[in-house]
Amino acid sequence: MKFIAKTLEGLEQTLAEELTDLGAEDVTIIKRAVLFSGNIVMLYRANLMLRTCLRILVFVKEFIIASEDELYAEVKKIHWEDYFSLEETFAIDSVVSSEKFRHANYMSLKAKDAIVDRFREKYGSRPNVDTRDPALRINIHIRNTTVTLSLDSSGSSLHMRNYRKRVTEAPLNEVLAAGLVLLSGWDKMTMLIDPMCGSGTIICEAARIAANIPPQDPEREFGFKKWRNFDPVLYQMVVDEELAKVKTSELPKIKGYDISSKAIEYATVNVQTAKLSDYITLSEEDFFYQEGEENAFLLFNPPYDERLKEKDICDFYSHIGDKLKHAFPGCTAWILSGHIEAMKHVGLKPSKKYHLLNGSIPSLFARFDMYAGSKKQKWKDKYGDQQS
Ligand SMILES: C[S@@+](CC[C@H](N)C(=O)[O-])C[C@H]1O[C@@H](n2cnc3c(N)ncnc32)[C@H](O)[C@@H]1O
Assess whether pLDDT exceeds 80 at residue 310: no
To test the ligand 1 pocket, which listed residue (159, 164, 257, 259) has its Cβ within 8 A of the most ligand atoms? 259
Q: Using CA atoms in the order 151, 157, 163, 164, what is the torsion angle rounded to 10 degrees?
A: -170
Q: Is the pTM of this model over 0.85?
A: yes
Q: Do both 43 and 115 map to the same domain? A: yes
Assess whether pLDDT exceeds 90 at residue 375: no
Average pLDDT for 223-242: 96
164 in any annotated domain: no
What pLDDT, on a 0 to 100 scale, did the predictor assign at position 388? 39
161 in any annotated domain: no
168 in any annotated domain: no
363 in any annotated domain: yes
* 79-84 long-range contacts, CB within 8 A, separation 24+: 80/115, 80/118, 80/119, 81/118, 81/119, 81/122, 81/123, 82/228, 83/136, 83/151, 83/227, 83/228, 84/127, 84/135, 84/136, 84/227, 84/228
Assess whether pLDDT exceeds 80 at residue 384: no
What pLDDT, on a 0 to 100 scale, did the predictor assign at position 166? 84
Ligand 1 in reach of 256 Cβ (< 6 A)? no
Q: Are strands 352-358 and 361-369 parallel, antiparallel or unpaired?
A: antiparallel
Cα separations (Å) of 342 from 176, 215, 346, 359?
21, 33, 7, 19
Q: What letter represents residue 14's amino acid? A: T
163 in any annotated domain: no
Ligand 1 in reach of 198 Cβ (< 6 A)? yes
Q: What letter represents residue 347's amino acid? A: G
Q: Do both 298 and 379 map to the same domain? A: yes
Ligand 1 in reach of 201 Cβ (< 6 A)? yes
Band (385; pLDDT cuts 50, 70, 90) = low
CA dist., res. 320 & res. 383, Å (int): 14
Q: How far is the CA of 372 from the centre of ligand 1 (A)?
A: 26
Q: Is residue 45 classed exposed, middle or buried when 0-12, 13-18 and 19+ CB atoms within 10 A define those classes?
A: buried
Q: Do both 138 and 179 map to the same domain? A: no
CA dist., res. 49 & res. 47, Å (int): 6
239: domain CATH number is: 3.40.50.150
Band (339; pLDDT cuts 50, 70, 90) = very high
Read off the pLDDT of residues 133-167 as tens digits, 9 standing for 90 and up. Answer: 999 999 999 999 999 999 999 999 999 998 988 88
Q: Do both 105 and 178 map to the same domain? A: no
167 in any annotated domain: no
What pLDDT, on a 0 to 100 scale, did the predictor assign at position 74? 97
Domain that holds residue 16: 2-152
Overall domain count for the chain: 2
9: domain CATH number is: 3.30.2130.30
Q: Do both 140 and 13 map to the same domain? A: yes
Cα separations (Å) of 39 from 1, 42, 43, 127, 260?
6, 5, 7, 28, 47
Specify the DSSP class assigned to residue 338: S
Contact between 335 and 343 (Cβ < 8 Å):
yes
Average pLDDT for 192-202: 97
Q: Are strands 280-284 and 254-258 parallel, antiparallel or unpaired?
A: parallel
329 in any annotated domain: yes
Q: Do both 100 and 135 map to the same domain? A: yes
Residue from 301, 339, 346, 344 nearest 325 by CA: 346
Q: Do both 187 and 124 map to the same domain? A: no
96 in any annotated domain: yes
Q: Give the DSSP letter string of 86-125.
A: TTS-EEEEEEEE-SS---HHHHHHHHHHHHHHHHHHHHSS
Residue 63 backbone dihedrals phi, psi, to 5 degrees: -155, 165
Ligand 1 in reach of 184 Cβ (< 6 A)? no
Listed residues 152, 184, 199: the one ending a domain: 152
Q: Do both 243 and 114 map to the same domain? A: no
Q: Do both 148 and 201 map to the same domain? A: no
Specify the DSSP class assigned to residue 224: G
Q: Do both 32 and 129 map to the same domain? A: yes
Q: How far is the CA of 51 from the centre of ligand 1 (A)?
A: 23
Average pLDDT for 202-224: 97
Q: Do both 111 and 198 map to the same domain? A: no
Q: What letter represents residue 215's amino acid? A: P
Q: Do both 26 and 76 map to the same domain? A: yes
CA dist., res. 250 & res. 190, Å (int): 11
User: In Å, how far from its chain's centre is CA 132?
Assistant: 23
